[in-house]
Structure 1
């Protein structure tokens, strides 16, 4: 959640950061505005983009009579495509010096970065290499005294200002942790003529996971910055992003949604939106989703692409039946269902016998129907041709050796953390049905019970006295899940698989630092888990798509894993193991860690890597393969190649950073000899060639 300046300053003031007086003024209120502070006044447009000063979005007035016409002028601006919903009005202040100060969560460095600049203002990164001082703060610790001193001396402040500066910096850091901030930027931080500090401008980003857990955070969300569709989707818990095409898109699971969006865009059938249903598709959510797509004038047809994994296609079909209410949809709908309960789901939809509803069981049929629905007058939306690279030469042998082993099989004893909860019980039953060796469960204060014949303990410390545990799987609510990971690691459980999604980034950063010396391999969080087809599963992966064989599948997406495994199985290619490493910005086991293990895994003859936009996981893997001479063929696919920069698509980690390029990710993989697949269809075809 990105806050505008006004909301950022409200938050700053509450955590003890001095800010100027200020008032918000909305269109229609400008005539009666009469603040308590003196002239001159600065009128500042509130938009979620930079460069507003250069665009004329900040104006000074010296007479009260000038306020209303000046405010109306600002309300009429469009700044980089952003309308001005309201303005913040502040009195002028006498500026002695301007600085830069920020705290940001760094995905690359896995810590919080404290950055100070001797000069603040626009284009801070271009003000010379000596301007900025960047220091790493490792959670759960705060800034060390020496780091505060280093920042202070870098700014060249007077000795008398040290205590106030230190107090401000500590307050900013504590506020960052208390309010779940991913970024807290003050630019500029000023020293007034009497040497008092003041945050003259501010920008704050709140972790969406924190906002989900803390309803009080909602007051900082400014609905005026979003479209009506975006607000409706947000209220319903849907992930929704507007795009420039004409095919309305509804998919379950961010990875598959991104891959489907790419397929449409690359095929000349551009998507008009990205809509991820997630794991829930009840009638109310389906009604909201359809209303969004029906109400989008740009959407001329709708494509619903579902792969039933944990989500049942039959359940979605019933929800869709209720949402349509026995009438034909307002726009043509193409429904592709595959996976769990897909046959019964398609039967339900066919039984409706309504016009404008097309049911298919594969992507080829879906694309054919969508092409027949293409509007004749719709302007073309240009996307680059997807990268298509065959398997390259294997990296030269380097003499590199690894002692790491995968080691999970049918005999691995499994402990379930959160076994007495609804999800814990459901998936314990499904794992037992698959043949997994579940030997114990843990739920605090529920010790002594049994769930499905599995004994329950109050703590892992108690469970390990009676059982040898090879892996733990975590079904614990987000507020407690990071500590559950730490509990598994403190007890040195070899593997800890954290299914939970929605854990705050601060919590996972702190936990990974706390368990840094533990031998536990953490998978996730926000992972579908691990499956060794025909032997065991430690997760929520549906068994139907998977079959035993020679190919390891490593993925950042659950639904994409199921889709690709299903395609491989249909092509007669089984899997040696499948691991979802997780879709969050901060995860445990990485692609590189898994490659360390499977290079020694005799059952694995080739690897399929399913990546996504965002982060450096795939680039790091490519560098590892080149450096160590990994000699098994690697087939890769990246979802989200046509994503708009700066827009989060489902997963917290799935965001194409501004300035980052998908081309760089794909090129790095190609240089390492990976086959780069242009589509999901190509994955099975290229994998078959790699095995020959």
Structure 2
């Protein structure tokens, strides 16, 4: 949740960080608003984009009569295509010097970065590297006194400012922890001619996972910065992003949604939106999703692409049936279903007996149907297909050896943390049906009972006194999940797979740091788990797509894992082991960590890596493969290649950040000898060729 300057300053003020007084003015209030602080005033457009100063979005007025006309001028502006919903008015500051100060969560460094600049302002990016001092703050340790001193002396402040500066920085760090902030930036932090420190401008981002757990954070959300559709989707718990095409898109799971978006865009059928249903699709959520797509004038047809894993295709079909209410949809709807209850879902759709609903047997059939529905007036949007040349030569052998192994098979004893909860019980039952060797469960204060015939303990320490445990699988709600991971690590359980999604990033940063010297291999969070086909299933993965064979699948996406496994199995290519590493920014076991074990896994002859835009996981893996001479074929598919930069698509890890981008990611993988797969349609054939 990115805050505008006004909301950022409200949060700063609550945290005892000095900010100028200010009032907000909305359209229609220009002539009645009268600030109670002295002139001159600055009128500052409140938009969630940079460059407002250069665009004329900040204006100075020297008498009260100017306020109305200048405010109306600002409301008429569009700044980087963003309208100005309201204005903050504050008094001009008498500035002696401008500095820069920020705290930000770093995905790459897995810590909080404290950045202090000797100079600040709108040209901060152009002031040179020597202007900034960057220090790493690791949780749970927090801000150290020496880091405060280092920032102070780097900025060149006079001695008398040390105490107020230290208090300001400590308050800023406390606000970051107390409010779940991913970014707390003051630019500029100024010293006035009156000798006071003042946060003259601010930018704050609140972790969405934190906000979900702490409803009070909702007070900082500004719906005016989003479209009506985006606000409706947010209220319904849907991931929704507007795009410039004409095909409305509804998919379950961010990875599959991004892959489907790419397929549409590369096929000349550009997507009008990204809409991820997630793992739940009751009738109300489906109705909201359909209302969004039917109400979008730019969406001329709708493509519903589902792979049932946790989600039942039949339940989605029933929800769609209820949403339509026996009437034909106002726009053509193309539906492709596979996976769990797909046959039942398709049967429901065929029984609808209404016009404008088209059932496709697979993705290519859906593309063919959509092509016939293409409106004559549809504007062409070019999406150049990234070049995927043949890989460079396979990595040269280096003599590297690893002694690591998976050590998981049908006999591995499994413990379920959160076994008595609704989700824990459901998936414990499904794992037992698959043949997983579940020996114990843990739920605090439920010790001594049994669930599904499995003994329940109050703690892992209690369970260990009675059972050998090879894997702990975690179904614990987000507020307690990081501690559940630490409990598994403290008890040195060999593997801990955390299914929970929505864990605040601060919690995971602290947990991973605390567990880094533990022998426990943490998988996830936000992972579908681990499956060794026909041996054991430890997680929420559906059983049907997976068959035994020679190919390992490692993935950042649950639904994409199921989709690819089903395609390989249908082509007679089974899997040796499948692991979802998790879709969050901060996870435990990486692709490279798993490759350490796969190189010694005799049943694995090739590896399929399912990646996504955002982060460095695939680049890090490529560096590992090249450095260690990994000699098994690696086939890779990257979802989200046509995603708009900076847009968060679904789970927290799927964001295209500033940096090398998709071309750099693909080039790095190619240099390491990866076989790059252009689409899901080619996955089976390319994998078969790699095995031969």
TM-score band (shorter)? over 0.9
Q: Which residue of 2 aligns with 1:620?
A: 620
Q: Which residue of 1 aligns with 2:423?
A: 423
Question: Does structure 2 conserve the Cα–Cα contact (< 8 Å) formed by 1:553 and 1:607?
Answer: yes
Mapped to 1, the partners of 2:465 and 2:62 lie a distance apart of 76
Mapped to 2, the partners of 1:358 and 1:129 lie a distance apart of 57
Question: Does structure 1 conserve the Cα–Cα contact (< 8 Å) formed by 2:386 and 2:663?
Answer: no
Question: TM-score scaled to structure 2, two decimals?
Answer: 0.99
Give a deviation string over 1:570-616, Cα, whole Å, max 9, x none: 00000000000000000000000000000000010000000000100
SS in 2 for 1:466: coil
> Following superposition of structure 1 onto structure 2, how do residues 487-566 of structure 1 map, counting pairs within 5 Å?
487-566=487-566
Point out where structure 1 has 5 or more consecutive residues left out of the alignment.
none
Q: Which residue of 2 aligns with 1:412?
A: 412
Mapped to 2, the partners of 1:34 and 1:298 lie a distance apart of 42
Q: Which residue of 1 aligns with 2:79?
A: 79
SS in 2 for 1:56: coil
> Following superposition of structure 1 onto structure 2, how do residues 201-600 of structure 1 map, counting pairs within 5 Å?
201-600=201-600
Q: Which residue of 2 aligns with 1:161?
A: 161
Mapped to 2, the partners of 1:5 and 1:197 lie a distance apart of 18
Q: Which residue of 1 aligns with 2:196?
A: 196
> Following superposition of structure 1 onto structure 2, how do residues 63-74 of structure 1 map, counting pairs within 5 Å?
63-74=63-74
Question: Does structure 2 conserve the Cα–Cα contact (< 8 Å) formed by 1:392 and 1:675?
Answer: no
Mapped to 2, the partners of 1:568 and 1:389 lie a distance apart of 23
Give a deviation string over 1:29-50, Cα, whole Å, max 9, x none: 1111111100000000000011
Mapped to 1, the partners of 2:546 and 2:407 lie a distance apart of 19
- Which of 79-88 and 121-130 deviates more? 121-130
In the TM superposition, residue 392 of structure 1 has moved relative to its aligned partner by 4.2
Mapped to 1, the partners of 2:406 and 2:390 lie a distance apart of 28
Mapped to 1, the partners of 2:433 and 2:135 lie a distance apart of 51
Q: Which residue of 1 aligns with 2:175?
A: 175
Mapped to 2, the partners of 1:101 and 1:392 lie a distance apart of 44
**4+ long deviations beyond 4 Å:** none
Q: Which residue of 1 aligns with 2:54?
A: 54
Mapped to 2, the partners of 1:160 and 1:393 lie a distance apart of 62
Mapped to 2, the partners of 1:324 and 1:334 lie a distance apart of 14
Mapped to 1, the partners of 2:316 and 2:123 lie a distance apart of 48
Q: Which residue of 2 aligns with 1:680?
A: 680
Mapped to 1, the partners of 2:660 and 2:668 lie a distance apart of 13
Point out where structure 2 has 5 or more consecutive residues left out of the alignment.
none
Question: Does structure 2 conserve the Cα–Cα contact (< 8 Å) formed by 1:391 and 1:633?
Answer: no
SS in 1 for 2:577: strand
Q: Which residue of 2 aligns with 1:667?
A: 667
Mapped to 1, the partners of 2:156 and 2:597 lie a distance apart of 50
Mapped to 1, the partners of 2:266 and 2:245 lie a distance apart of 12
Mapped to 1, the partners of 2:658 and 2:324 lie a distance apart of 40
Mapped to 1, the partners of 2:453 and 2:9 lie a distance apart of 55
In the TM superposition, residue 660 of structure 1 has moved relative to its aligned partner by 3.6
Give a deviation string over 1:118-177, Cα, whole Å, max 9, x none: 000113122022100000000012221111111000011111110110011010001100
Give a deviation string over 1:212-270, Cα, whole Å, max 9, x none: 11111111111000000100100100000001100000000000000000000000000
Mapped to 2, the partners of 1:397 and 1:554 lie a distance apart of 23
Question: Does structure 1 conserve the Cα–Cα contact (< 8 Å) formed by 2:391 and 2:671?
Answer: no
Mapped to 2, the partners of 1:586 and 1:16 lie a distance apart of 30
In the TM superposition, residue 391 of structure 1 has moved relative to its aligned partner by 4.8
Q: Which residue of 2 aligns with 1:39?
A: 39
Mapped to 2, the partners of 1:660 and 1:73 lie a distance apart of 38
Mapped to 1, the partners of 2:236 and 2:157 lie a distance apart of 49
May I ask how many residue pairs the two structures share in their alignment? 692
- Which of 123-132 and 605-614 deviates more? 123-132
Question: Does structure 2 conserve the Cα–Cα contact (< 8 Å) formed by 1:389 and 1:677?
Answer: no
